Amino acid sequence: MSGTGNPETWAVGERDTVISALDRVVARLPDKVMLDFSGELYTYLEIDRLSTRMANALAAQGIAAGDTVLTMLDNNVDAVITWLAINKLCAVSVPINTALKGEFLRHQVADTGTQLVICEADYLPRMAAIAEQLTDVKRILFRVSAGKELGELPAASIAIEPLDLYRGSDDTPLAVKPQPADLACLIYTSGTTGPSKGCMISYNFMCNLARLQLRAGPASENDVTITPLPLFHMNALCVSIIASILVGARAVILPRFSVSNFWQEVERSGATIASILGGMGGLLAQAPDNDAMLRCKGQIHTARGNPYTEETKKIWRERFGTKLVGGNGYGLTEACVITSLAAGEYAAPGSSGKRIADFDVRIFDEMDQEVPVNTPGEIVVRPLCPDIMFQGYWRRPEDTHKLMRNMWFHTGDVGKFDDDGFFYFVDRKKDYLRRRGENISSFEMEAAFAVHPALSEVAVHAVPSDKGEDDVKVTAVLHEGAELSQEDLFRWAADAVPYYALPRYIEFRTSLPKNPQGRVLKYLLRDEGKTANTWDLDDTDIKVAKR
- Does the pLDDT of residue 436 top 90, yes or no? no
What phi, psi does 96 have (nearest 5°)? -120, 160
Q: How far apart are CA 402 and CA 62, in angstroms?
A: 36
Q: How far apart are CA 448 and CA 501, in angstroms?
A: 11
Same structural domain for residues 421 and 439? no
Digit-coded pLDDT (tens) for 349-367: 889 999 999 999 999 999 9
Same structural domain for residues 359 and 422? yes
Same structural domain for residues 411 and 447? no
Averaged confidence pLDDT in the chain: 91
Judged by DSSP in three states, 535 sits in strand
According to DSSP, the residues that pair with 42 across neighbouring strands are 35
- Does the pLDDT of residue 323 top 90, yes or no? yes
Same structural domain for residues 372 and 453? no
Exposed/middle/buried for 19, CB within 10 Å: 0-12, 13-18, 19+?
Answer: buried
- Does the pLDDT of residue 497 top 70, yes or no? yes
pLDDT computed for residue 306 by the predictor: 80
Alpha helices in 217-329 (DSSP H): 234, 243-247, 259-269, 278-286, 291-295, 310-320
Neighbours of 264 (CB within 10 A): 16
pLDDT computed for residue 428 by the predictor: 67
Digit-coded pLDDT (tens) for 174-192: 999 999 999 999 999 865 4
210 within domain boundaries: no
- Does the pLDDT of residue 502 top 90, yes or no? yes
Q: What is the mean pLDDT of residues 533-545?
A: 92
Kind and range of the H or E element at 108? helix 102-112
What phi, psi does 74 have (nearest 5°)? -75, 180
pLDDT computed for residue 194 by the predictor: 64
Same structural domain for residues 517 and 439? yes
CA nearest neighbour of 146 among 169, 170, 171, 163:
163
Terminal-residue alpha carbon distance, the chain:
41
CATH number, position 402: 2.30.38.10
Same structural domain for residues 471 and 489? yes
The DSSP call for residue 23 is H
Same structural domain for residues 272 and 319? yes
Judged by DSSP in three states, 477 sits in strand
292 within domain boundaries: yes
pLDDT computed for residue 310 by the predictor: 83
492 within domain boundaries: yes
Same structural domain for residues 388 and 455? no
pLDDT computed for residue 3 by the predictor: 43
Amino acid at 19: I
Query: Could you tell me the pLDDT band of residue 456, with boundaries at 50, 70 and 90?
Result: very high
197 within domain boundaries: no
For residue 451, what are the contacts with CB-CB under 8 A and spacing of at least 6? Answer: 496
Q: Look at residues 428, 446, 466 and tell me which one is the last residue of a structural domain.
A: 428
Same structural domain for residues 417 and 439? no
- Does the pLDDT of residue 516 top 80, yes or no? no
**Cα 332 → chain centroid:** 10
What phi, psi does 488 have (nearest 5°)? -65, -35
- Does the pLDDT of residue 515 top 90, yes or no? no
Same structural domain for residues 293 and 307? yes
- DSSP annotation string for 118-172: EEEGGGHHHHHHTGGG-SS--EEEEE--TTPPP-PPPP-SSEEEEGGGGS----P
129 within domain boundaries: no
73 within domain boundaries: no
189 within domain boundaries: no
Q: How far apart are CA 454 and CA 39, in angstroms?
A: 50
Q: How far apart are CA 44 and CA 30, in angstroms?
A: 5
pLDDT computed for residue 189 by the predictor: 86
Same structural domain for residues 420 and 440? no
Q: What is the mean pLDDT of residues 279-302?
A: 94
Q: What is the mean pLDDT of residues 488-517?
A: 89
**Cα 428 → chain centroid:** 18
Answer with the residue of higher pLDDT: 94 or 470.
Answer: 94
Exposed/middle/buried for 318, CB within 10 Å: 0-12, 13-18, 19+?
Answer: exposed
**Number of domain units in the chain:** 3
Q: Look at residues 428, 457, 483 and tell me which one is the last residue of a structural domain.
A: 428
Digit-coded pLDDT (tens) for 12-36: 668 999 999 999 999 999 999 999 9
CATH number, position 439: 3.30.300.30
Structural contact between residues 500 and 468, judged by C-beta atoms closer than 8 angstroms: no
Q: How far apart are CA 109 and CA 116, in angstroms?
A: 10
According to DSSP, the residues that pair with 360 across neighbouring strands are 382
Query: Could you tell me the pLDDT band of residue 103, with boundaries at 50, 70 and 90?
Result: confident
pLDDT computed for residue 191 by the predictor: 55
Query: Could you tell me the pLDDT band of residue 328, with boundaries at 50, 70 and 90?
Result: confident
CATH number, position 312: 3.40.50.980
pLDDT computed for residue 192 by the predictor: 43
Structural contact between residues 138 and 115, judged by C-beta atoms closer than 8 angstroms: yes
Q: What is the mean pLDDT of residues 98-110?
A: 92
Q: How far apart are CA 388 and CA 409, in angstroms?
A: 13
pLDDT computed for residue 152 by the predictor: 77
Structural contact between residues 42 and 35, judged by C-beta atoms closer than 8 angstroms: yes
- DSSP annotation string for 318-377: HHH--SEE----EEETTEEEEEE--TT----TT---EE-TTEEEEEE-TTS-BPPTT--E
Q: How far apart are CA 308 and CA 298, in angstroms?
A: 19
Kind and range of the H or E element at 116? strand 116-120
What phi, psi does 69 have (nearest 5°)? -130, 120
In percent, the amount of the chain with pLDDT more than 90 equals 75
Q: What's the whole-model pTM score? A: 0.84
Inter-helix orientation angle 77-88/18-28, to 10°: 110
CA nearest neighbour of 143 among 101, 100, 81:
81
C-alpha distances (whole Å) from 532 to each of 73, 81, 272, 471, 511 are 42, 51, 48, 17, 16
Same structural domain for residues 370 and 396? yes
Q: What is the mean pLDDT of residues 134-158?
A: 85
Answer with the residue of higher pLDDT: 146 or 87.
Answer: 87
Q: Look at residues 397, 428, 459 and tell me which one is the last residue of a structural domain.
A: 428
Domain containing residue 277: 218-325
148 within domain boundaries: no
pLDDT computed for residue 2 by the predictor: 41
